[in-house]
Amino acid sequence: MLFNSVEFLLFLPLVFTLYWFAFSRSLHWQNVLMLVASYFFYGWWSWKFMVLLAISTLLDFLYGFGVASTNRKKARFFLWLSVVNNLGILAVFKYYNFFAIQFQQGLALLGLHPHVVLLKVAIPIGISFYTFHGMSYVFDIYREKQKPVRNFIDYAVFVSFFPLLVAGPIERASHLLPQIRKRRFFNYQQAADGCRLILWGLFKKVVIADSLAIIVDKIFTHYHDQHAISLLAGAIAFSFQIYGDFSGYTDIALGTAKLFGFELLTNFRFPYFSRDIAEFWRRWHISLSSWFRDYLYIPLGGSKQGKLKAVRNTFIIFLVSGFWHGASWKYIVWGGIHACGFLPLLLLNRNRRYPSDVVARESSLPSVKELSQMMITFAFVTFAWVFFRAADMKEAIGYVTCSVTNFKQPKDWLLCLSVCCYVIPLIACDWWLRRDERSLRVPQRIKPIVYIVLALLVFFFFGKQTNFIYFQF
């Protein structure tokens, strides 16, 4: 079920009404309702995927008790069992065909031509997200940051909570489970903030991202025939398409959770206002970046065992992060590009210059230095996005090549203007909101006008239901 669908617009009020009016007196039955609603939401695509989700949830729930053992040898055994189980699910459904094809091509170079059996099965939606939920739960128990949950319903809600199930944010058990196990009461202000976030998220998805998607598809499909300026516009358009699409989903997820009394982790903090690549990754897909930091980078030694190992660990997490997005060389190269951009900052000890600052906190406009830093960072990120968006490495290289050689093709200024019409308003809105972490609270006198305009725009652009980009991951 898509957030930007008529079905969801019917589903959400129904669950909300039952949750607060029929089951509000019992925490247990509220959680049961949330679990049923989450599985219905997920099973809307396929009941087979729902079975896989249930099996994965049950196994990690059971592993948690073994990992909590005072016998460290036994605890490590169940920890690795969970890791093998979760990565095994990913390997079979998401990565098997990729490795099988690479193996076949490698042997072909040696003159061998084995027959490789490929799996003809769709990748379960959200598989990378809920497997990471399960692993973080088990890891935290092993590190004594979390005690095993004895109520299976509570744990199952943590893994399958429908606002975040298919595209995050990747929640931590220590953050979400206490909210699931605690009695919740309706809070008008929290619900109002949730509605504002949902509306803003729908605007970014339906009005901005889906409109830019049409332009991006046209340019990337026929990149050979496009002028270099149009190709540049196409790359910029995709940068804002994926931002509007993914951050729009996150806003809807956070807003929906607020309607039910939950606070999810922040996943975006205006990433295109970053002044270097390190800051970008503290602002973009924060839950994934912090997951890899806490469960991969730090266990590998982080940056405390010398520069050489720090460089190694940096490349590992960026390459793995790229591969997490999909079984394709283009994602690995995308991760490698970001690793190369991060590396100079690491070597010069400048990767923590802007840990939590708001750009131009005390002024309405950025300084010349800040503006140049943001533009350079955005240019680097946009270049990397070309590899992320292209169908394969051949198309990505061809797109980049044509971007610096296709100056004899006719210019399509109308197309470039169309990109600006969607990008500039989004930049302006984000700049206005950058200090208050997306509260979306506007002056009382213009509040109704702003919300009505946003709602009308969403209604006007509401047409074909398109998947969120991160559903495929």
- The C-alpha atoms of residue 201 and residue 450 are separated, in whole angstroms, by 14
Cβ–Cβ under 8 Å, residues 138 and 67: yes
Residues 29 and 16: their CA atoms lie apart, in Å, by: 13
Dihedral angle at the C-alpha atoms of 128, 330, 290, 361, nearest 10 degrees? Answer: -130
Determine if residue 171 is left, alpha or beta; phi over 0 gives left, psi from -120 to 50 gives alpha, anything else beta: beta
Question: Is-catalytic flag, 175?
Answer: no
Residue 44 CA, distance from chain mean position: 21
Residue type, 27: L
Residue 423 neighbours by CB under 8 Å, 6+ apart: 212, 236, 237, 240
Q: Which residue shows structure tokens 């390459």?
A: 319
Cβ atoms < 10 Å from Cβ of 120: 6
Of 193, 188, 171, 209, the C-alpha closest to 255 is: 193
Annotated catalytic residue, options 133, 227, 285, 325: 325
* Nearest alpha carbon to residue 167 among 235, 250, 88, 268: 250
Q: By C-alpha distance, which of 430, 440, 442 is closest to 366?
A: 430
HEC profile of 98-161: HHHHHHHHHHHHCCCCCCCCCCCCCCCCCHHHHHHHHHHHHHHHHCCCCCCCCCHHHHHHHHHC
Q: Per-residue b/e over 143-182, b at no fewer than 16 CB within 10 Å? A: eeebebbeeeebbbbbbbbbbbbbbbbbbbbeebbebbee
Angle at 39 between CA 34 and CA 45, to 5 degrees: 140
Active site (catalytic) residues: 325
